[in-house]
Amino acid sequence: MSASSTATATSSAASESADPCCGAPLPVLGRDVAVPLVTGGEVTYAALDYAASAPALQRVWDDVAAYAPYYGSVHRGAGYLSQLSTDLFENSRQTVHEFLDCRDGDQVVFTRSTTDSLNLLSAVLPADCQVFVFETEHHASLLPWQNARVTYLNAPRTPAQAVESLERALTDRDPYGPALVCVTGASNVTGEIWPVKELAAAAHAHGARIVLDAAQLAPHHPVSVKDLDVDWVAFSGHKLYAPFGSGVLAGRADWLQEADPYLAGGGASKKVARRTDGGVDVEWHTTAARHEAGSPNVIGVYSIASACKALTEAGFDSLVEREQSLVRKVREGLAEVPAVKVLSLFGDDAPRVGVISFVVEGWNSSHFAAALSAEYGIGVRDGLFCAHPLVRTLLGSDPQDPGECGAPEAEPGERSLNAIRVSFGAGTPDEHVERFVAAVQELVANGAQWNYRTEEGRCVPAV
């Protein structure tokens, strides 16, 4: 049996061992974890913070466990296990290429995360490149462009306004230099889906390129590089039901090939020779390896490929349909509580993924989230979600108001610059969403059953 077929066999055996998941299309790790409640007893934990990190699929974990005995150094050895690992690594690259429906000639570069991917792209920008980015972006796609000429666009209030705003900015730019547009596929704050295809058309009509931050889109919807006509796409494994520490930048090869390696070292270099003057001459790879210096994270890469296969085999049509039923259930439940305000840029009718942020009148968001956890066993997120300008715009606060990502300073009961986010996906049972809606309604109606205090910027149950 070849190295490649052995790797396939381990994956198949693992996938066949996955058991059904209580009420969710894809089983995830931690679905049976019991957590204590401050009011006494235990309850099965409801993980509703998928937008930060989705739990790993059981399928992914089983695939990795099946591969583990065959672990070997990638691209570094003649032994059987090394060759098997190399095959697995490169086959994973092809799996991701197919998952994203990339064009012929597009490169798939493995990174540590979406943040790493976009910083890599920032590092290879041509000289004098202009970058256009909406203030609504996650910090991973808002901040990497500091060394370029950046134009920050104001938050649009409709998808059409987003396209119009970009077109105006591109019309006013220097038409002779390179330009790049960076846009999210789905907001990590509101869950709203952005008009990526229309923005790509506007970018290309004005001679610019576009990179898609698909960190929140890829786990919920199919992403086709060809159909959207984007130049690059970036996403993280830990949003896509794979463990931490791996990411992807996929797209056009020319800027990647023309720039110096993102990291210099083994793997990126094709040939190194001493010069007579005492220095060294380096010939760098022109493949994706050019920006993958060092021993690669083969397990992280294989995890991403396994998750891509699982989502593809489950069928995005059915996954999207079910997720939308959960979105409706949450939104309808929150709409029954007058004190709750759901945050939105594009309005109630905008298409969205399973990410919903809100504030509750009379509640510090950190206090509310702490009560959901301590009294109901529900894990959500509170804060500014690493999208400070967007959340401040949605909350109507002054840009200079203090606030930290996930660490509000206000005491419980005081108004603070933060919100609550609930997020879910293919591993979420209906019961978790139903418990969340009931808990929100009960907390608003009756208040918390426990006392809370602020400790190191976080709201926690008082002992």
Could you read off the pLDDT of 195-244 as tens digits, one per residue? 999 999 999 999 999 999 999 999 999 999 999 999 999 999 999 999 88
The mean per-residue pLDDT over the stretch 108-120 comes to 97
Element (H, E) at 171: helix 159-171
Tell me phi and psi for residue 110, to 5 degrees. Answer: -90, 135
Element (H, E) at 9: helix 3-16
Q: What is the 3-state secondary structure (H, E, C) of 384-401?
A: CCCCHHHHHHHHCCCCCC
Contact 296, 73 (CB under 8 A): no
Query: Which positions are catalytic?
Result: 386
Of 2-6, 219-223, 435-439, minimum mean pLDDT range:
2-6
Distance CA 93, CA 87 (A): 10
Count CA atoms within 13 Å of residue 431 on its CB side.
12
Of 105-119, 217-231, 393-407, minimum mean pLDDT range:
393-407
Tell me phi and psi for residue 386, to 5 degrees. Answer: 50, 35
The mean per-residue pLDDT over the stretch 124-132 comes to 95
Residue 398 pLDDT more than 80?
no
* Per-residue pLDDT, 399: 54
* Per-residue pLDDT, 22: 59
Element (H, E) at 93: helix 80-99
The mean per-residue pLDDT over the stretch 349-357 comes to 97
The mean per-residue pLDDT over the stretch 78-104 comes to 95
Instruction: Kindly tell me the burial class for residue 70, based on how many C-beta atoms sit within 10 Å of its own C-beta (0-12, 13-18, 19 or more).
Output: middle
Tell me phi and psi for residue 72, to 5 degrees. Answer: -155, 170
Instruction: Kindly tell me the burial class for residue 135, based on how many C-beta atoms sit within 10 Å of its own C-beta (0-12, 13-18, 19 or more).
Output: middle
Distance CA 202, CA 209 (A): 10
Q: Which of 278, 363, 351, 359 is nearest to 320 (CA)?
A: 351
* Per-residue pLDDT, 227: 98
* Per-residue pLDDT, 175: 78
Of 12-21, 93-102, 111-120, minimum mean pLDDT range:
12-21
Supply the pTM of this predicted model: 0.92
| SS3 assignment, position 317 | helix
CB atoms within 10 A of CB 458: 16
* Per-residue pLDDT, 341: 96
The mean per-residue pLDDT over the stretch 98-114 comes to 97
